[in-house]
Amino acid sequence: MKIATVPSKNRKQLIIVVTLLLGIPLVLFASLEVAQWVTRASVEPEPTNVLFTNVGTQEFTVSWVTDTTSTGSVIPIVNGQDGAPLIDTRGSRKRKTHYVTQRALEPNTNYSFTILSNEERYGSDGLETFSFKTPTVVSTAPTANPVSGSVSGVNNEDGMVFISTMDKDVYAVSSVVSKGGTWNIDLSSLRKISDGSYIIVRENDRLVIVAVVAPDKGAFLQGTFGELFDSNGVLKEVYPLNVGDIDDPYSKLFVSEGSTPFISTPVTPSLETSDAETSDSSDAYQPVEQSRRFRIVTHVEWIDMTTVEGLADVGGIREESVRIVNAMDTGFTVIWLSRQKELGYIKYGTSKDSLTNEASDERDGITSKREYYVHYIPVTRLQPDMEYYFEIYSGKEVYTNQGQKYIAKTFPRLTTPPPFNSVAGKVSGIPDHGEAVIIMHIQDVDNVGSLGRSADIASLVDQRSNWILSISDSRTEDGLEYFEYTSEDSVNFDVVTTASTETHKEQAQGIGNRDIEVLLEGKSVLGVESSEIGLLSNYGIWGYSTGIHLQATSTGSSGQNYQVTYESGTQIPKTGLSDNIIYIVILSILLVVTPFTIYIIHMTKKRRKGTMIKNL
């Protein structure tokens, strides 16, 4: 009797099929790896766009970019010998943007160096070294003029920001981009290339801002100082720096002048307005009612769990929230909280009986006003060392401090400001409306330097919850001198928003070199408290709920509690197989493997049947 077996020819075919099924993916993978290796090998980490920025009599910054990620450092040449390498200010890891600062230099002195990129040495235009001469000392230095902002699209701190005037004979000023996407630059460091003299930036001076993350990726802005930055030197949100593909971003440092600021990167389009809205030439703000359409699912029973009688329409401001911050020799800022979103501004003057000047929220435009919970009103162009009176207009009410008017006093003008230093970070847990102001002050701890605490400085938190503050602007509470702090002192942060928070404290040592995160508690400070509701065991999608009681509590004068209850049931919600990712993976594998297995079994049976027929 003969035993039915698979012929050797068919066995070879099966082996070939299996080999192809396993070999083709392996060959494709190996080809991809080889292609990537060849590509990497063909791209040299040659430094391009080498720039000298932040030029001073005792320091300057060297920056460059490479087509591929690489290590980068600067080797000073001293008396013909290599000095100790200077690494990137962000550390020694590989990146496409490179940023090295040389310090402790002498004025009016030539310095030579080479750039080391992936262990390869590079010089200037075929030479073995680069060379730079520090400027001479000038008799007077301008007052610090810090500006700050944020960049979207920067990964792993691999980004730089440059600011220059529209004139080509100026050394630009620059900064690296932090982990949170923020940057800060002191415009008072701008100098002319010709003689090293300082450039003083004024309201109508035209500037260009360039963000660089690679030789062909970046963003830029152009406009006057007053158009681009608010009164605190923060880049306005209407002019975002969004990184994208751009031909030679460095060429944008010196562009032809235009009549208005423009943005080279995509901007989120605004909502279209009707003809009736655009034809209204009135400067007064008119709230626009927008109609919105919703699809109602009728087979689900909807329960209003948020509206409670007695809690709606709570207007007015919390007068205890009114604070005066950012006091300086030319202005101050007023902040407060309102219980509802409403328009806010102040009227001020040097006399209680003559409040003829008006200041609006920093986020408002010239002809358009918006409603806020958190109000932030900067007052600028004031006289030093003078008292100003003001009253608050919030919604339909006027707040006059019980008829006495609010009082703010500008500080006297000081000379020789301390070196520019800033603090940046993020606020976590901001309510959905996204409105918050961060306030900082320094508290003396070791009785060395300035005693007591500094005056409050503040900034709006941007749409990405980031913020930047210039700690070098801190003054003593009386404003008579800059606050001198030590590494042992405490830097305290408070957040003004509709959720409460405890004071966040940081040690002053190295505070400018790390991102600060302030966490909110989530409790409302506007009279209504809310708490997070845990997950339910039954969501009532195809059935009833399990009878969880929801309670909303008013903290107002009535002190009443309100309770909403809904019925319980026993049905289990039918949420489907796709709720579990493991099931999805298993199902995907079965869908792929099952047809192939059926095909193999079918072919095997067919071959066996054919073999048995031949044997018979």
Q: Give the separation between CA 302 and CA 280, rounded to whole angstroms.
A: 40
Please choose, from the candidates 364, 389, 365, 371, the residue with its C-alpha nearest in 3D space to the C-alpha of residue 315.
371
Sheet with 561-565, strands from edge to edge, namely: 528-529, 549-554, 561-565
Q: Give the separation between CA 515 and CA 370, rounded to whole angstroms.
A: 31
How high does pLDDT run on average in the chain? 75
Q: How confident is the model at residue 355, as a pLDDT?
A: 92
Q: How confident is the model at residue 265, as a pLDDT?
A: 37
Q: How confident is the model at residue 321, as a pLDDT?
A: 84
> In this structure, which amino acid lies at residue 331?
G
Q: Could you read off the pLDDT of 406-462 as tens digits, one per residue? A: 999 999 988 777 777 888 888 988 888 889 999 999 999 999 999 999 999 999 988
Residue 110 has pLDDT above 80, yes or no: yes
Residue 479 has pLDDT above 80, yes or no: yes
Characterize 3-29 residue by residue with b for buried, 16 or more Cβ atoms within 10 angstroms of its Cβ, and e for exposed: eeeeeeebeeeeeeeeeeeeeeeeeee
Is the four-CA dihedral 475, 480, 484, 488 of positive or negative sign? negative
Lowest mean pLDDT segment, chosen from 426-435, 490-499, 578-587: 578-587
**Residues 6 or more apart in contact with residue 590 via CB below 8 angstroms:** none
Q: How confident is the model at residue 155, as a pLDDT?
A: 83
Assign 170 a pLDDT band (cuts: 50, 70, 90): confident
Instruction: Show the CA angle centred on residue 74, arms to residues 174 and 65, nearest 5°.
Output: 50
Q: Could you read off the pLDDT of 242-287 as tens digits, one per residue? A: 998 887 778 766 533 333 344 433 333 333 333 433 334 334 434 4
Q: How confident is the model at residue 29, as a pLDDT?
A: 62
* Greater pLDDT, 130 or 313: 130
Residue 381 has pLDDT above 90, yes or no: no
Q: Could you read off the pLDDT of 341-374 as tens digits, one per residue? A: 999 999 999 998 889 999 999 888 766 788 999 9
Query: What are the tokens at 554?
Result: 């008013």
Question: Could you tell me if 381 and 410 are in contact, meaning their C-beta atoms sit under 8 angstroms apart?
Answer: no
What are the backbone dihedrals phi and psi of residue 512, each rounded to the nearest 5 degrees, phi first?
-75, -10
Q: Give the separation between CA 608 and CA 138, rounded to whole angstroms.
A: 98
Q: Could you read off the pLDDT of 289-348 as tens digits, one per residue? A: 444 444 444 444 443 333 333 333 344 666 778 999 999 888 999 999 998 899 999 999
Classified as helix, coil or strand, 253 is helix
What are the backbone dihedrals phi and psi of residue 454, each rounded to the nearest 5 degrees, phi first?
-90, 170
> In this structure, which amino acid lies at residue 362?
E
DSSP assignment string, 543-602? S-BB--EEEEEE-SSS--EEEEE--B--PPP---GGG-HHHHHHHHHHHHHHHHHHHHHH
Query: What are the tokens at 60?
Result: 């300057």
Query: What are the tokens at 525?
Result: 């400070």
Q: Could you read off the pLDDT of 189-232 as tens digits, one per residue? A: 899 888 888 888 988 898 999 999 988 889 989 889 989 998 88
Q: How confident is the model at residue 506, as a pLDDT?
A: 92
> In this structure, which amino acid lies at residue 502?
E
**pTM reported for the whole predicted model:** 0.48
Q: How far is CA 143 from CA 107, 174, 187, 414, 483, in A?
A: 20, 18, 10, 9, 16
With a pLDDT cut of 70, the percent of the chain lying above it is: 66
| Averaged pLDDT, 541-565 | 40
Q: How confident is the model at residue 432, as a pLDDT?
A: 85
What are the backbone dihedrals phi and psi of residue 126, each rounded to the nearest 5 degrees, phi first?
85, -10
* Greater pLDDT, 43 or 320: 320
For β-strands 48-53 and 60-70, DSSP reports them as: antiparallel
Tally the C-alpha atoms within 13 A of residue 576's C-alpha that lie toward its C-beta.
5
| Averaged pLDDT, 232-243 | 88
| Beta-bridge mates of residue 217 | 214, 245
Q: Name the residue with tokens 């999805």.
A: 584
Q: How confident is the model at residue 572, as a pLDDT?
A: 44
Q: Give the separation between CA 114 and CA 104, rounded to whole angstroms.
A: 18
For β-strands 344-349 and 490-496, DSSP reports them as: unpaired
Query: What are the tokens at 164?
Result: 């220059």
Question: Could you tell me if 180 and 426 are in contact, meaning their C-beta atoms sit under 8 angstroms apart?
Answer: yes
Assign 539 a pLDDT band (cuts: 50, 70, 90): very low
Classified as helix, coil or strand, 128 is coil
Q: How confident is the model at residue 571, as a pLDDT?
A: 44
Q: What region does 444 belong to: left with phi over 0, alpha with psi -120 to 50, or beta?
A: beta
Residue 554 has pLDDT above 50, yes or no: no
Lowest mean pLDDT segment, chosen from 4-8, 131-135, 510-514, 550-554: 550-554
User: Alpha carbon 241 to chain centroid distance?
Assistant: 10
Q: How confident is the model at residue 462, as a pLDDT?
A: 85
Characterize 149-158 residue by residue with b for buried, 16 or more Cβ atoms within 10 angstroms of its Cβ, and e for exposed: bbbebbeebb
**Residues 6 or more apart in contact with residue 249 via CB below 8 angstroms:** 210, 211, 212, 216, 217, 218, 219, 220
User: Alpha carbon 4 to chain centroid distance?
Assistant: 73
E strand or H helix that includes residue 540? none
Q: How confident is the model at residue 282, as a pLDDT?
A: 39
User: Alpha carbon 581 to chain centroid distance?
Assistant: 33
Q: How confident is the model at residue 520, as a pLDDT?
A: 84
| Averaged pLDDT, 575-590 | 56
E strand or H helix that includes residue 444? none
Q: How many other C-beta atoms are found inside a 10 Å radius of the C-beta of residue 217?
A: 19
Q: Name the residue with tokens 């101050």.
A: 332
* Helical H segments across 346-425, by residue range: none
Q: Name the residue with tokens 């040659």.
A: 46
